Amino acid sequence: MPLILTIESTCDETAAAVINDRLEVLSAVVASQEKFHEQFGGVVPEIASRAHVERILPVIDSALRKAGVRLSDLDAVAVANRPGLAGSLLVGLMAAKTLALAGNLPLIAIDHLQAHIYACRLAAGKDVFPCIGLIVSGGHSNIYRCETPLDFTPLGGTIDDAAGEAFDKVASMLGLGFPGGPALQRAAEQGDPKKFRLPRPLLDDDSRLEFSFSGLKTAVRYQLFGAGKPEMNAATLDPQLVADMAASVQAAIIDCLAGKAMLALQQTGFQRLCIGGGVAANRPFRERMERLAAERGIELHIPPLSLCTDNAVMGAIALEKYNAGQFATLDLEISAGLERPHLARST
């Protein structure tokens, strides 16, 4: 029974898990860095990488202990090597290479974005491919045609900011704190989503499976402080205004994500949609997608909240590569940065 240790360190979560060939999770450990980045209103790459250095070995050791296994019991080591923050990726990759070399174990490279969609496979307990995959996170808002767990074709995505980034930056403007997504959702519960007329960029363009959220952030700033004027202290904003703006922004982002997801299904003829990433934890977004799926006869898969944010359990996609004999060599490198499908098509 193959046992695989999976390692995740693409951004600001240090995580490790042990998975067997039945996709059973024998252990899962996540060390969050939220408190380190909260004062800055976003993830600071250098702080993230230093925290990974301090935590990576204790997290791995804890995962092995909780699973009741030793390094010699493993059949492979898997690590997310793309995409993400360069320093963070390097910490996880170096740890995985060291363990693979010391234990004479195969090394498996994981695509972090593919793993987010594979979380739907884990939650469903059955095959969910082929499907349309929508990844919505702090750095990505991408749409893929997923023929198999390892065969992804980009169909579109954001041309500037991701949905999660829009949540974080608007939350910062409103003085709601970090991480912005959960804070904005809580504030929106007391607000009117129709109070402010905000743009839904590209939503009415049926020829493009693309998002744009930078203009939405600018529109919020102008509504709050006026065009060409400096930002005021968020503490001076009326609480009801904050709630109404939070609700209006959340509604605009959800409209864009839902609209393009439905367009992707329409254009491809697929009837199965899998959604992954941190923004998939947003309750109103989940509810909207569930309603649309029920109305249109779409098979929808969204992982539980624990598998939406970054974790090592979704690294179970490594089992697909293990069974296919797709192993990496010890000269494996990272592929840092963000994946933007529109840029890939233009080169």
DSSP string spanning 82-124?
Answer: ESB-HHHHHHHHHHHHHHHHHHT--EEEEEHHHHHHHHHHHHH
Taking the C-alpha atoms of residue 121 and residue 314, their distance in angstroms, rounded to an integer, is 9
Q: What is the CA radius of gyration of the chain?
A: 20
Q: Is the pLDDT of residue 154 over 70?
A: yes
- Measured at the CA of 29, the angle between CA 27 and CA 35, to 5 degrees, comes to 165
Annotated binding site for Fe cation: 112, 116, 310
Residues making up the chain, counted from first to last: 347
Percent of the chain with pLDDT over 70: 98
Taking the C-alpha atoms of residue 126 and residue 13, their distance in angstroms, rounded to an integer, is 27
Q: Is the pLDDT of residue 274 over 80?
A: yes
Q: Which residues contact 14 (CB under 8 A, 6 or more apart)?
A: 8, 30, 31, 33, 51, 52, 55, 56, 59, 92
What value does the mean pLDDT take over residues 118-132?
98
Q: Closest Cα partner for 274 from 303, 295, 245?
A: 303
The answer on 296 and 274 residing in a single domain is yes
3-state helix, strand, coil in the chain (%, to 5): 50, 20, 30
The answer on 255 and 197 residing in a single domain is yes
What value does the mean pLDDT take over residues 156-162?
95
The answer on 298 and 317 residing in a single domain is no
Annotated binding site for substrate: 135-139, 168, 181, 282
Q: Before 179, cis peptide (omega within 30)?
A: yes
Domain housing 255: 127-305
Are residues 171 and 226 in contact, defined by beta-carbon separation less than 8 angstroms?
no
**343: in domain:** no
Taking the C-alpha atoms of residue 196 and residue 173, their distance in angstroms, rounded to an integer, is 16
Q: Is the pLDDT of residue 345 over 80?
A: no
Q: Closest Cα partner for 13 from 226, 329, 277?
A: 277
φ/ψ of residue 37, rounded to 5:
-100, -10
Taking the C-alpha atoms of residue 293 and residue 273, their distance in angstroms, rounded to an integer, is 9
- The residues pairing with 108 across neighbouring beta strands, listed in sequence order, are 78
CATH number for the domain spanning 111: value is 3.30.420.40
Q: Which amino acid is at 198?
A: L
The answer on 25 and 152 residing in a single domain is no
Are residues 310 and 84 in contact, defined by beta-carbon separation less than 8 angstroms?
no
What value does the mean pLDDT take over residues 190-208?
95
**217: in domain:** yes
pLDDT at 38: 86
pLDDT at 193: 98
pLDDT digits (tens, 9 = 90+) for 47-102: 999 999 999 999 999 999 999 999 999 999 999 999 999 999 999 999 999 999 99
The answer on 184 and 173 residing in a single domain is yes
The answer on 52 and 36 residing in a single domain is yes
pLDDT digits (tens, 9 = 90+) for 291-331: 999 999 999 999 999 999 999 999 999 999 999 999 999 99
**53: in domain:** yes
Annotated binding site: 112, 116, 135-139, 168, 181, 282, 310
The answer on 75 and 190 residing in a single domain is no
Taking the C-alpha atoms of residue 183 and residue 243, their distance in angstroms, rounded to an integer, is 11
What value does the mean pLDDT take over residues 221-248?
88
- The H or E element containing residue 80 is strand 76-82
pLDDT at 40: 86
The answer on 159 and 104 residing in a single domain is no
The answer on 135 and 50 residing in a single domain is no
Which tokens hold the place of 60?
């791995």
The answer on 297 and 197 residing in a single domain is yes
**347: in domain:** no
Taking the C-alpha atoms of residue 125 and residue 128, their distance in angstroms, rounded to an integer, is 9
**335: in domain:** no
φ/ψ of residue 344, rounded to 5:
-65, -35
**159: in domain:** yes
Percent of the chain with pLDDT over 90: 90
pLDDT at 347: 45
The answer on 284 and 151 residing in a single domain is yes
**pLDDT band (50, 70, 90) for residue 244:** very high
The overall average pLDDT reported for the chain is 95
Q: Is the pLDDT of residue 19 over 90?
A: yes
**342: in domain:** no
The answer on 45 and 193 residing in a single domain is no
**331: in domain:** no
pLDDT at 233: 76
Count up the domains in the chain and report the number. Answer: 2
What value does the mean pLDDT take over residues 40-46?
90
